[in-house]
Amino acid sequence: MIIWQADFYKHLSQDNEQNTTWNLIICNEQKVIIHQASCQQSEVNSNWLIRQLDPLVKQYSPDMIKVFRPQSLSLFTLAGQTLGVKIEGTRRTPQLKQILKEKYPNAVKIDQPPPQAIPESLWGDKWRFATFKAGDFIDYFSDRPIPIKVLPEDLNPINLGIASDVNLPGVVIYGGKKSMYLARWLADNQPVSLNYIPTDINKSGGLILESGLMDRWVLLTFEDAEMATSAQQYEQQKEQSQGIHFLLIQPDDSGMTQTGIWLLRKEEF
């Protein structure tokens, strides 16, 4: 399967602020640059992008092009529809982002909106922090009949060389009768990571869900010193697990059934 990662972004010249160009860069998952091109602001449209992609698609027949920048996703989507190539919007374009950081360090940054509250109708009954052994995680959850299951291969702890006895930190939400509604809402919003943000480092804070290409949600909040300590430990455990963590939705604490499971890792812009 041939998968490319692509970006099409605005570049402001340091010498002449009036000279605004847009840069196109495409690479593969081996971090090899397939194509680079630039155009003036006035030329930016899907037709220009189609002209750039058309000969590449005919030569290499890529199965998918992954795009992380919200501002260019619609252009790639139009081009992909014309050329018959699947376009996927995702933050997980590590090889491309590494190239951009090395060659054009200011190109990766994306301004994110402030976090929004999730709909009250989705709030679960209760929640807790949890851990799961890295070596057992994929085998355990992949074999269970969980309706919504997102366990990306590139986040598999074993593939990343994480020792089997390392604890993967996570959050379990007991949704009760709303469990499936919450899991479906999460699936629609494509969770990326779940991060602790302290409001008072020893007393209170919240868990911010990063989702989609740039969305942020206040998933959980608390005002409890013991919970704040657990949240700090949760973040420390992420450092030991290369940032890998999980979000588990289940109806109750019986452990008999699960509704949704996501393997997560924060993606830097």
The reported pLDDT for the residue numbered 269 is 61
Q: What is the mean pLDDT of the chain?
A: 93
| Residue 257 DSSP code | -
The reported pLDDT for the residue numbered 18 is 64
Q: How confident is the model at residue 118 (pLDDT cuts 50, 70, 90)?
A: very high
List, for residues 177-229, the tens digit of each pLDDT value: 999 999 999 999 999 999 999 987 677 899 999 999 999 999 999 998 999 99
Give the 3-state secondary structure of residue 9: strand
The reported pLDDT for the residue numbered 104 is 80
Query: Interior CA angle at 144 toward 195 and 241, to 5°?
Result: 35
Whether domain 3-103 has CATH 2.120.10.80: the reply is no
List, for residues 108-117, the tens digit of each pLDDT value: 778 888 999 9
* Percent above pLDDT 70 for the chain: 97
Q: Where are the domains of the chain?
A: 3-103, 116-264
- Report the run of H or E that residue 20 belongs to, with start and end: strand 20-28
